[in-house]
């Protein structure tokens, strides 16, 4: 079978179903296959992710070392957060938009086949990363949005579910009640005051021993966003990007600022020019800061928002950088761990 299976070929392949099922992967890109002998590895296997992906990098690394495809492994990693109701930035339990509706974004790229998939403003489906993979795998398109993205997901067998948890609903109600002192809602005490609107996301990038690379980014978007807003996570070339000859990169933070610089793509292009992953991320952050609107800057010119970039290259080297001090998750063959990012500014993020 080829790496990129048609829907008919995959469903007809009982062996592929059994092998992929053993690893717990739905809609696999391909069945698992034996790793090359260690002496013939083309790259050092590695998985990196945003800081909320510590469990995910362990899962993805284990899958890669069992012969799973890099995109299958990366998506299984981010699904841990998509299904976790305590992660209010991703999937089930994510903070809703201004109307109290959870709308999810995701995109992915598969280096070996040079294909991508994405969904935006998806409602009622807990794992948009999987839906993005299905868009890539089963259609000639890249990006589906809104109600039609949901219809596609249901046609692919995904189950419609309520995404707004009690915790996220309570946070939204507090935000709405305190939004305008002249409206008809009474101000209420906020037990969890937010100095910044949450913008969390999860990005995951993976390199296999044979040098194949993939990336995925998924999010619930910035809390209380304008309904229909799609951030960088769903934008191929911004929220994530992969070139199987060079490397992969992804982002978390203020999506609009990342879209303006095509961050994922620019980092990979910086690596193409010879930069190491951390340097490539750092250089792109300088572009983010330079293009920030004046309303987003402090009096001394520092961005009021956070942006974190992660990157891997073909050899399995990895790195991450942020505007303000942060961490990222990595597994490079030793153990899953958190590491500090390089950062532009040593001070905490301004209020």
| Catalytic positions | 199
Quote the distance between the C-alpha of residue 289 and its chain's center. 22
Quote the distance between the C-alpha of residue 82 and its chain's center. 10
The answer to whether 135 and 142 have CB atoms below 8 angstroms apart is yes
φ, ψ at 344 (rounded to 5°): -75, -45
The answer to whether 78 and 218 have CB atoms below 8 angstroms apart is yes
Which residue, chain included where needed, has tokens 């934008």?
235
């Amino acid at each position: 079978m080829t790496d990129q299976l048609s829907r008919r070929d995959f469903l007809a392949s009982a062996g592929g179903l059994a092998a992929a099922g053993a690893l717990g992967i739905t809609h696999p890109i391909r069945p698992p296959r034996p790793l090359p002998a260690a002496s013939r590895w083309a790259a050092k296997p590695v998985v990196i992710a945003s800081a909320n992906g510590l469990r995910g990098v362990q899962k993805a690394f284990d899958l890669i070392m069992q012969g799973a495809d890099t995109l299958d492994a990366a998506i299984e990693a981010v699904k841990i957060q998509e299904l976790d109701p305590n992660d209010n930035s991703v999937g089930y339990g994510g903070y809703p938009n201004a109307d109290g509706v959870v709308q999810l974004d995701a995109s992915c790229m598969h280096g070996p086949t040079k294909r991508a998939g994405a969904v935006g403003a998806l409602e009622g489906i807990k794992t948009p990363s999987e839906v993005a993979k299905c868009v890539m795998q089963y259609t000639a398109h890249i990006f589906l949005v809104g109600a039609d993205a949901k219809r596609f997901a249901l046609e692919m067998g995904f189950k419609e579910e309520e995404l707004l948890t009690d915790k996220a609903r309570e946070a939204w109600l507090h935000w709405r009640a305190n939004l305008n002192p002249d409206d008809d809602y009474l101000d209420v005490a906020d037990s969890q005051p937010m100095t910044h609107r949450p913008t969390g996301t999860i990005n995951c990038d993976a390199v296999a021993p044979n040098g194949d690379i993939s990336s995925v980014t998924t999010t619930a978007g910035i809390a209380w966003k304008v309904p229909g807003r799609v951030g960088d996570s769903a934008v191929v070339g911004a929220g994530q990007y992969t070139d199987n000859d060079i490397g992969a990169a992804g982002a978390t933070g203020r999506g609009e600022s990342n879209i303006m610089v095509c961050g994922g793509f620019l980092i990979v292009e910086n690596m193409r020019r010879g930069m190491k992953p951390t340097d490539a991320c750092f250089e792109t952050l300088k572009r983010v800061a330079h293009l920030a609107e004046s309303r987003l800057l402090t009096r001394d010119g520092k961005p009021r928002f956070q942006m974190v970039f992660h990157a891997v290259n073909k050899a399995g080297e990895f790195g991450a950088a942020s505007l303000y001090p942060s961490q990222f998750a990595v597994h490079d063959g030793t153990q899953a761990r958190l590491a500090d990012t390089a950062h532009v500014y040593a001070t905490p993020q301004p209020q």
